[in-house]
Structure 1
Amino acid sequence: MDPLKALADAERKPYWLDSPAKPEPLPRLLKDTTADLAVVGGGFSGLWAALMAKERDPSLDVVLLEGRRIGWAASGRNGGFAMATLTHGIANGLERWPEEISTLERLGAENLDEIGETVARYDIDCGYERTGELNVATEPWQLDEMNESVRIAHELGIRFDVLDADQTRAEVNSPTYIGGFWERDGCAMVDPARLAWGLRQACLSVGVRIYERTPVRNIKDTHAAMELLTPHGTVRAARVALGTGVFQPLLRRLKHFLVPVYDYALMTEPLSAEQLASVGWHNRQGVGDSANQFHYYRLTADNRILWGGYDAVYYNGGKIKPEYEQRDETFVKLAGHFATTFPQLSGLRFTHRWGGVIDTCSRFSAFYGQSHGGRLAYAAGYTGMGVGATRFGANVMLDLLAGERTERTELRMVKEKPLPFPPEPVRSAGIQMTRWSIAQADLHQGRRNLWLRTLDRMGLGFDS
């Protein structure tokens, strides 16, 4: 496969959002209004918070404000892996909250079950498939780390099916695989944009008022109420749930904990029956390889292959710009890696190429908190695993706003904050050193250099 030829006709837009199913925009807010709960952000965090607030108490008046379109940012651009993990994998959770890991894994599994129940209850057409994830090794050093993950999973009663090279290739046929494991119960595949649009409709059906193209410019605490200022109207609300991810924070303290990292993906044309047979993939799992710089990939409903990951790019200064969503250097690299993984698909072409920004924090999993005397709650920092975990985060926000002590709010994971990032330019220098170091680790059998070992000791280690 010639990467440039394969990319020649690829449109520069997210595949999921380039769909005839995309709904017409809802009206802007054009006058002042009041609400019991105002939700800021129309991605998964905000949509889940608004929907579940009404499910908890149908009498609540809930308003959701989205600055652009529902699902237009990370929620509509990701790979569509709805993971059970709340901690960016068992290893990360065990390193940080060992005494809670059994509880966190149980809560994550329950959360994923409840996502499936919600999809069924509201008849959301998002291609929900509970197929699990196939984790594959392409280098011998990755097998050692996989074996440790499997051992821990078995101790926790989680089903990881270990596969040798032949068994792995029988699931998905690539000459690069030397082994793997199938996490059967911990992942569902979805069309993320359709999930967001389906949650939008579910919110509307239970009486949530949604205003699109209504950016919140400022939040003021008048003591009598929280005031959310938009270009053409103000919302006065008793409570606020903030789900804006990494974008310009309305709460100043969040800027110290979040950095924007850009992730990129490609989508192929639909595979023919012969092409699909050459790959296998009968069980339609999501797939992730096990390098530090990893790829994630999956089949769509019409048997395209989404191929993403590897480069996680931080632009110095932490700026967010539309032009960063296209990076030809990464697209060519990804196309070349695809050709190495699936040489039998040498004639396949890509139809879409895109990127998007992820909200990353130093512990690589979401953190939570309150401000303004408990009248505002937030959840952020999902680091690329928010399709499933945002629902849990929305529940945490609602618990906090209600002043309830629940199993969720009593977790140390929920009570603690990640370490803040240093100010610029030290922040950029440290992140770029880390990116270089993890690339070097992949080139040297996973061996972590002094910089990475230092981060590990500080609780900042990152290996995927």
Structure 2
Amino acid sequence: MPTAKHRSLWLQEAGTGPATDRLVGNRTTDIAIIGGGYVGLWTALRIKAVDPGVDVTVLEADVCGGGASGRNGGFVLSWWPKFSSLVALFGKEEALRLARASEDAIDEIGDFCRAHAPEAEFRRSGWLWTATAPAHDDSWRDVVRLADDAQPGAFRPLTPAEVARQSGSPTHLSGVLEASGAIVHPGHLVRAMRERALELGVTIHENTKVRKLGRRGRPVVRTDQGSVTAEKVVVATNAWAAGLRELHTRLFVISSDIVATAPIPDELDEIGWREGPAITDSQTLVCYYRTTESGRVVFGKGGWAIGIGGYLPPAMERHSGRAGMVTRDFHRYYPMLRQAPITHDWAGPIDRTYNSLPIIDWLNREKTIAVGVGWSGNGVGPSVVGGKMLASMVLGRDDEWSNAGLVSAPAKHFPPDPIRYVGAHLVREAIVRKERAEALGIEPGRISTALSALAPSGLEDKA
């Protein structure tokens, strides 16, 4: 890959090399996995844990972690914020099982980091869901009510004073705490997963872009300089799966942008946020932010650049103008930290589904190609669960994971492009107008409110 490729803070700190050899020539394997991020690697590790003799080959267009797995905010969250959606789709019993499985996944990531990635800075300090404008107060009402009915204490209500104290800023007006949430250094985690997969005998070909995927008979994965014929294939390419015709109306791609400050541990100690929880607000164009072990603030905002079909514009990699917008939001929430230098900024595409739950499904009737995509900005923790489902599917196991509600779940579709592309811009602009008005305490216009309601469900199931 070009040496000038822009990298996130995480990958600059964790490193990206030396890369494994790119695929050259033709080979066969039991299971081929397209994508060397969290989903692909957790699937590979799970397969090896269940049946060490299975030959697994991972094909990665960049380096492992070069996509979303090395660019995210490092939030390790459960599916509790999506409990309303889970109940609506699968009923209370299966929703509870999936929510608890996603909690267990956070434990598993913590165990993995202690064993294989102590430098990944895993810290279980909870996740704080906040309102930063009066219009967003009690956004969590419905999901908290449902969650408390199923598992009392899943969320802990906080007083406004507690929210301000735990977030380090009085701009946070109210909120609830979900205690199972954690944070991690995404770069060190994904690179450690890569090394562990190699240790277990997984073959990884980096810098190997897949050009064609044969659907009939034994799947054949064709690359620039070779091919892999497999018994089963797993597609785990995140946003890059939007170009597959079978997924065209089930996914749309939108960017998320992140900035990071220089280390400011003394300033964070002063406001009480040095080791505080990970935080999100309740905007549709959500802001999410956390601190690092070195005392940086990492602050992100989702929802600006929009993809069309499988085309992801270069602006999804990095955009200085959007980084400036994110910085202004950071200063709005933490005006006392305005003097902290912004040392890093980066961006990346997010594969959104209509309900923000992932697509775990078969791509073809023969059930030889499985897909695990559509993580919608919350894939770090749930990818462990998805890896178990995908592994059971391609290994032909009849167990709790292959029979989980999310496997081949019904999904609402988006309109096809270019209708979706044009409509997404109209909805985004309406959301921007609505949320700017709300931030100023002004009643948003009726047209902006009506158009904003057309946006798909976000990271949280808001009331």
Question: Quick check: TM above 0.5?
Answer: yes
Aligned to 2:113: 119
Structure 2 equivalent of residue 365 of structure 1: 357
> Deviations 1:216-236 (Å, cap 9, x if unpaired)?
21122563x322212222212
TM-score under structure 1 length normalisation: 0.89
For 2:172, give the aligned amino acid. Y
1: distance between equivalents of 2:163 and 2:197? 41
Deviations 1:306-346 (A, max 9, x none): 01115433156663132432333322222122122112223
Secondary structure of the corresponding residue to residue 148 of structure 2: helix
Query: Which residue, out of 97, 101, 105, partners 2:99?
Result: 105
How far did 1:202 drift? 0.6
Contact 2:280–2:287 (CA under 8 A) maintained in structure 1: yes
Amino acid aligned to 1:290? S
CA deviations 1:195-238 (Å, max 9, x no partner) are 11010001011111111111121122563x32221222221211
Report what 2:199 is aligned to.
205
Aligned counterpart in structure 1 of residue 326 of structure 2, from 294, 312, 334? 334
Q: Which deviates more, 162-171 or 197-206? A: 162-171
Letter in 2 for 1:396: M
Moved more, 313-322 or 164-173: 313-322
Would the aligned equivalents of 2:58 and 2:202 in 1 still touch at CA under 8 Å? yes
- Return the alpha-carbon distance in structure 2 between the equivalents of residues 387 and 299 of structure 1: 17
Report the CA distance between 1:113 and its aligned residue: 2.0
Q: Which residue is 2:224 aligned to?
A: 231
Instruction: Report the equivalent of 1:7.
Output: none
Which residue of 160, 163, 169 maps to 2:155? Answer: 160
**Using the alignment, how far apart are the partners of 2:204 and 2:251 within structure 1?**
27
In structure 2, the residue matched to 1:191 is: 185
* Residues 1:270 and 2:297 aligned together: no
Q: Determine helix, strand or coil for the equivalent of 2:406.
A: helix
AA aligned opposite 1:398: A
Higher mean Cα deviation, 248-257 or 53-62?
248-257
Asked if the contact 2:274/2:295 (under 8 Å) is kept, the reply is no
| 2:23 matched residue in structure 1 | 29
Bigger drift between 212-221 and 313-322 goes to 313-322
Secondary structure of 1:256's counterpart equals: coil
User: Cα offset for 1:397?
Assistant: 1.4
* Counterpart residue number, 2:305: 313
Q: Would you say 1:322 and 2:314 are equivalent positions?
A: yes
Q: Which moved more, 1:189-198 or 1:341-350?
A: 341-350
1:202 and 1:461 mapped to 2: Cα distance?
35
Instruction: Write out aligned runs for 1:417-428 (5 A).
Output: 417-428=410-421
Post-superposition shift, 1:253? 0.6
Contact (CA 8 Å) 1:124, 1:199: kept in 2 or not? Answer: no
* Structure 1 stretch displaced more, 18-27 or 339-348: 18-27
Residue type matched to 2:156 in 1?
D
Q: How many angstroms does 1:119 deviate by?
A: 2.7
Provide the C-alpha distance between the structure 1 equivalents of 2:451 and 2:365, rounded to a whole number of angstroms: 38
Report the Cα offset of residue 245 of structure 1: 1.6
> Per the alignment, do residues 248 and 369 of structure 1 end up closer, same or farther by CA in structure 2, a change over 3 Å counting?
closer
Q: Assess, with a 3 A threshold, how the Cα gap between structure 1 residues 432 and 190 changes in structure 2: closer, same or farther.
A: same
| Aligned residue runs from structure 1 range 7-406, under 5 A | 13-19=7-13, 21-85=15-79, 89-99=82-92, 100-123=94-117, 125-157=119-151, 158-185=153-180, 187-221=181-215, 223=217, 225-247=218-240, 251-273=244-266, 275-315=267-307, 319-370=311-362, 371=364, 373-406=366-399
Cα distance between partner residues in 2 of 1:80 and 1:203: 21
Distance in 2 separating the partners of 1:317 and 1:61: 33
How far apart, in 2, do the equivalents of 1:318 and 1:226 lie? 21
Instruction: Name the stretch that deviates more: 209-218 or 170-179.
Output: 170-179
**Counterpart secondary structure, 2:45:** helix
How far residue 143 of structure 1 moved from its aligned partner, in angstroms, is: 2.3
Q: Count matched residues.
A: 446
Post-superposition shift, 1:17?
A: 1.5
Change (3 A) 1:318 1:64: closer
- Residue 14 of structure 1, CA deviation: 1.5
Q: Is the 8 A contact 1:125 1:198 kept in 2?
A: no
Structure 2 gaps of 5+ residues are none
Distance 2:458 2:215 in 1: 38
CA separation of 1:65 and 1:381: change in aligned 2, threshold 3 A = same
Letter in 1 for 2:412: L
Any idea what SS the aligned residue of 1:168 has?
A: helix
Query: Over aligned residue pairs, what C-alpha RMSD do you find?
Result: 2.5
Q: For residues 107 and 341 of structure 1, what CA distance do their matches in structure 2 show?
A: 33
Q: State the secondary structure of the residue aligned to 1:422.
A: coil
Matched residues in 2 for 1:440 and 1:91: separation?
27
232 and 288 in structure 1: CA distance in 2 versus 1, 3 angstrom threshold: same
Preserved contact between residue 256 and residue 349 of structure 2 (Cα < 8 Å): yes
Amino acid at match of 2:358: A
Q: Is the 8 A contact 2:254 2:349 kept in 1?
A: yes
The SS at the match of 1:198 is helix
Distance 1:461 1:121, change over 3 A: closer
- What amino acid sits opposite 1:127 in the alignment? E
1:38-97 deviation per Cα after TM superposition (whole angstroms, max 9, x unaligned): 111111111111111111111111111111111001111110011111x76223334444
1-side partners of 2:142 and 2:26: how far apart? 56
Question: Which region of structure 1 is more displaced relative to structure 2, 188-197 or 129-138?
Answer: 129-138
CA pair 160-20 structure 1, distance change in 2 beyond 3 A: closer
Report the secondary structure of 2:188's partner residue: helix
SS at match of 2:276: coil
Mapped to 2, the partners of 1:148 and 1:434 lie a distance apart of 24
Paired amino acid for 1:329? G
Q: Please tell me whether the aligned partners of residues 241 and 310 of structure 2 are also in contact (alpha carbons under 8 angstroms).
A: no
Query: How far apart are residue 250 of structure 1 and its match?
Result: 7.4
Say which SS state the counterpart of residue 131 (structure 1) adopts: coil
Once residues 84 and 338 of structure 1 are traced to their aligned partners in structure 2, the CA distance between those partners, rounded to angstroms, is: 25
Distance 2:459 2:29 in 1: 43
Deviation, 1:347, is 1.4
Q: Match of 2:354, as an amino acid?
A: S
Structure 2 equivalent of residue 6 of structure 1: none
Letter in 2 for 1:176: T
Q: Distance in 2 between matches of 1:181 and 1:248?
A: 34
Rounded to whole Å, the distance in 2 between the matches of 1:66 and 1:310 is 25
